[in-house]
Amino acid sequence: MIPASLSRLRMALSCLIVFHILIIIASNYLVQLPISLFGLHTTWGAFSFPFIFLATDLTVRLLGKAAARRVIARVMLPALVVSYMFSVLFQEGAFRGLDALAQLNSFVLRISVASFLAYVVGQLLDIQVFDRLRKLTQWWVAPSAAMIVGNLIDTFVFFSVAFWRSTNEFMAANWVEIAAVDYATKVVISIMLFVPLYGLLLNAILRLLAGRQTATV
């Protein structure tokens, strides 16, 4: 954890909160759009949600576990409400009109609640795992382990709550396969892209905040 002024800390936390909410909104929308990946079912949400774990792990590294938990606490309810409204308006990729907000959409509400539960459980677990491992000499171990464990819990909590016996026949019949492929996709993307990106961003942020030309992870 590096020292930072109060104003910088507040700015960083505000940016992280907005970032988390935007990724949750995007992921709750994209999870409604199934795709076929090497003949297996998954959704576009698998490609967006790992950004949250990247942001959370950077928060723990730079600002500490307490700051990361504050981000989660402030994100939960706004993300639930806004993601529900956005997903109702653009359900399954089509704009439904503002009148859609006047009626309760149980399918989208279930997805939003599932996202709420999965986000809280997955992120708190991610923080715990990362915090325990972040002092290791090998900088990549903590984000890799946290993303693997956090994504596992997040994915299966989300899909089981959202789609088990869902009114969407395709998702109800295929959610286990979709969840497994979704998780595998997230892990591959995280290891190949987000862990290296984590290292690059961490060094860039350390140089920016500490005013140094070089930084060591």
More confident residue, 132 or 209: 132
When pLDDT is cut at 50, 70 and 90, the band that residue 135 belongs to is confident
**Is pLDDT above 50 for 211?**
yes
- pLDDT confidence of residue 129: 93
Q: What is the pLDDT of residues 15-66, one digit of tens each?
A: 878 888 888 888 877 877 778 777 777 778 778 878 888 888 888 887 788 8
- pLDDT confidence of residue 214: 44
Characterize the bridge pairing of strands 34-37 and 40-43: antiparallel
Look over the chain and give the mean of its residue pLDDT values, rounded to a whole number. 82
What CA–CA distance (Å, rounded) separates 179 from 186?
10
- Percentage helix, strand, coil for the chain under 3-state DSSP, each rounded to 5: 80, 5, 20
